A and B are shown apart, each in its own frame.
Chain A
Amino acid sequence: MPALPSFVPYLIHTLFPPWVRRPTEIGAEIMMTAGGAFIVYWLLKNKKLQWLWNEWLTTVDHKKIGIMYLVAAIIMLGRGGLDALMLRTNLAMPTLHFINASEYNEVFTTHGTIMVFFMAMPLIFALFNVVVPLQIGSRDVAFPRLNAISFWLFAFAAALFNLSFVVGGSPNAGWTAYPPLTELAFNHTVGENYYFVSLLMTGIGTTITGINFLVTILRMRAPGMTFMKMPLFTWATLNTSVLILFAFPPLTIALLESLLDRVAGTTFFGLAHGGMPMMYVNLFWLFGHPEVYILVLPAFGVFSEVVATFSRKKLFGYPSMVLSMTAIMVLAYGTWVHHFFTMGAGPAVNVFFGLSTMLIAIPTGVKVFNWILTMWGGRLQFTTPMLYFLAMIPTFVIGGATGVMLGAVPADYQFHNSYFLVAHFHEVLIGGTVFGLLAGVYYWWPKMFGYKLNDHQGKWAFWLFAGGFWPTFIPQYWLGLEGMTRRMYTYPFGMGWHTLNVISTIGGFIMGAGFLVLVSNVLRSRLHREVDATGDPWDGRTLEWSIPSPAPEYNFAVIPTVDERDWWWEEKQRRQSGEKPAGPKPEDIRPIAIPKNTPVPILLGAAFFLGAFGLVFTWWPVALTGLAGVFGVLIYSWFQYDHYRILSAGEIRETEELLGRLGA
Chain B
Amino acid sequence: MRTWAKRIPLALGLVAVMAGCGGPHAVVLNPAGPVGRVELNLMDLAAITMGIVILFVMVLFTIAVVRFRDKKGNRAPYTPNVEGHKVLEVLWFIIPALILTVIAVPTVQETYALAKVPAKHPLVIDVTSLDWKWLFEYPGQKVATVNHLVIPAGQPVLFKLTSDAPMNTFWIPQLGGMEYAMPGRVLPLWLESYKPGVYWGHSGQFSGREFEKMFFSVKAVTPTAFNAWAASLRKTAPAMTVADYHRLLQFTTVGYQSYSSYPAFTFPSVTHGFTLKGGMYLLMHNNPAHD
The smallest C-beta distance from B77 to any residue of chain A, in angstroms, reads 6
Contact of A414 among B28, B81, B282 (CB under 8 A): B28
| B147 to A: closest C-beta gap in Å | 14
Please report the C-alpha to C-alpha distance between residue A452 and residue B165 in the assembled complex, in whole angstroms.
Answer: 55
Query: B-facing mask of A101-145, CB < 8 A → 1, else 0?
Result: 110010000000000000000000000000000000000000000
Q: B169 at interface (Cβ–Cβ under 8 A)?
A: yes
> By the criterion CB–CB under 8 Å, are A277 and B176 in contact?
no
Q: Any chain A CB within 8 A of the CB of B244?
A: no
Q: Determine the distance from Cα of A496 to Cα of B2 in the docked complex, in whole angstroms.
A: 12
Residues of A within 8 A of B (CB): 101-102, 105, 173-174, 178-181, 186-187, 271-272, 274-278, 311-320, 340, 342-347, 349-351, 354-355, 358-359, 361-363, 365-366, 368-370, 372-373, 375-382, 390, 393-394, 397-398, 401-402, 404-405, 407-414, 416-418, 474-475, 477-478, 480-483, 485-492, 495-500
A345-B281, A404-B100 provided; 16 other pairs, C-beta below 8 A? A173-B206, A178-B167, A178-B205, A277-B183, A314-B80, A340-B180, A343-B179, A355-B108, A369-B57, A379-B70, A408-B103, A413-B179, A478-B10, A480-B28, A481-B22, A499-B4
Residue from A277, A278, A354 within 8 A of B111 (CB atoms) = A354
Chain B nearest CB: distance from A616 CB in Å? 21
Contact B169 A417 (CB under 8 A): yes
> How far, in Å, is B138 (CB) from chain A's closest CB?
22
User: In this complex, what residue of A is CB-closest to B280?
Assistant: A346
What would 20 A/B residue contacts be, using CB atoms closer than 8 Å?
A: A101-B209, A102-B209, A271-B184, A311-B68, A343-B182, A355-B107, A362-B96, A372-B64, A378-B80, A379-B69, A394-B58, A397-B53, A405-B46, A409-B107, A410-B111, A411-B177, A414-B36, A414-B173, A499-B4, A500-B7
Cβ-defined contact, A372 with B61, below 8 A: yes
Of listed B65, B176, B180, residue having the most chain A CB within 10 A? B180
A492: B residues at CB distance < 8 A: 215
Q: Any chain A CB within 8 A of the CB of B226?
A: no
B185 part of interface (Cβ distance < 8 Å): yes
B96: chain A residues at CB < 8 Å are: 361-362, 365-366
The contact of B169 among A317, A319, A359, A416, by CB within 8 Å, is A416
Tell me whether A482 and B25 are in contact (CB under 8 A): yes
Q: Given the complex of chains A and B, what is the CA–CA distance between A393 and B64 in angstroms?
A: 12
B77 with A181: CB separation less than 8 A: no
Point out the residues of chain B lying under 8 angstroms from A370, CB to CB: 84, 89, 92
Provide the residues of chain A in CB contact with B39, threshold 8 Å: 410-411, 413-414
- Report the Cα distance A571→B57, complex, angstroms: 35
Contact call A351/B26, Cβ cutoff below 8 A? no
Q: Do residues A276 and B278 form an inter-chain contact, with CB atoms below 8 A?
A: no
Residues of B within 8 A of A340 (CB): 180
Question: What CA separation (Å) do A316 and B81 show in the bound complex?
Answer: 9
Q: How many whole Å from A236's CB to the nearest CB in chain B?
A: 18
A317-B84, A475-B10, A480-B28 as given contacts; A410 in contact with B70, CB under 8 Å: no
- Bound-complex Cα distance A238 to B149 (A): 54
Given contacts A358-B103, A417-B204, contact A393 B278 (CB under 8 A): no
Ranked 5 nearest A-B pairs via Cβ = A413-B177, A496-B25, A417-B204, A401-B50, A344-B187
CB of B89 within 8 A of CB of A397, answer no
Closest CB in chain B relative to A172 CB, distance in Å: 8
**Bound state CA distance, A417 and B203, in angstroms?**
9
Residues of B within 8 A of A344 (CB): 179-180, 185, 187-188, 278-279, 282
The residue that B211 contacts in the complex, of A187, A404, A488, with Cβ under 8 A, is A488
A179 to chain B: which residues have CB within 8 Å?
166
For B25, the chain A residues whose CB sits under 8 A away are 482-483, 495-497
A366 in contact with B89 given A379-B74, A499-B3 (CB within 8 Å): yes
- In angstroms, how far is the closest chain A Cβ from the Cβ of B265? 15
In the complex, whether B104 has a CB less than 8 A from a CB of chain A is yes
Query: Given that A379-B78, A475-B10, A500-B7 are known contacts, is A362 also in contact with B93, CB under 8 Å in the complex?
Result: yes
Chain B nearest CB from A195 CB (Å) reads 14
